[in-house]
Structure 1
Amino acid sequence: MLVVVANDLPPAVRGRMKLWFVEPKPNVFVSGVKDSVAVYVVDYLYKHCPPESGIVIFRSLPSPPGYEIRTIGPTKKTLTTISGLQLVIETLNHH
Structure 2
Amino acid sequence: MLVVLANDIPPAVRGRMKLWFVESRPNVFVSGIKDSVANDVVEYLYKHCPVASGLMVFQKINKAPGYKIRGIGDTKRSLIEISGLQLVQEKKGTV
Query: TM-score higher than 0.5 here?
Result: yes
Alignment match, 2:35: 35
Q: Structure 1-normalised TM-score?
A: 0.94
Distance between the aligned counterparts of 1:90 and 1:65, measured in 2? 21
SS of residue paired to 1:62: coil
Identical-residue share of aligned pairs (%): 68
Alignment match, 2:45: 45
Instruction: List per-residue Cα deviations over 1:43-79 (Å, max 9, x = no partner).
Output: 0000000000000000000110100000110100111
Distance between the aligned counterparts of 2:35 and 2:63, measured in 1? 13
Alignment match, 2:26: 26
Q: Provide the aligned C-alpha RMSD in A.
A: 1.3
Mark the runs of 5 or more structure 2 residues left unpaired by the alignment: none
Structure 1 residue 8: Cα displacement:
0.1
Alignment match, 1:57: 57
Alignment match, 2:72: 72
Distance between the aligned counterparts of 1:16 and 1:50, measured in 2? 15
Q: Tell me the number of residue pairs that the alignment of Structure 1 and Structure 2 aligns.
A: 93
Q: Which runs of 4+ in 1 moved over 3 A?
A: 90-93
Q: Structure 2-normalised TM-score?
A: 0.94
Alignment match, 2:10: 10
Tell me if the contact between 2:76 and 2:90 (Cα under 8 Å) persists in the aligned partners: no
Distance between the aligned counterparts of 1:35 and 1:79, measured in 2? 22
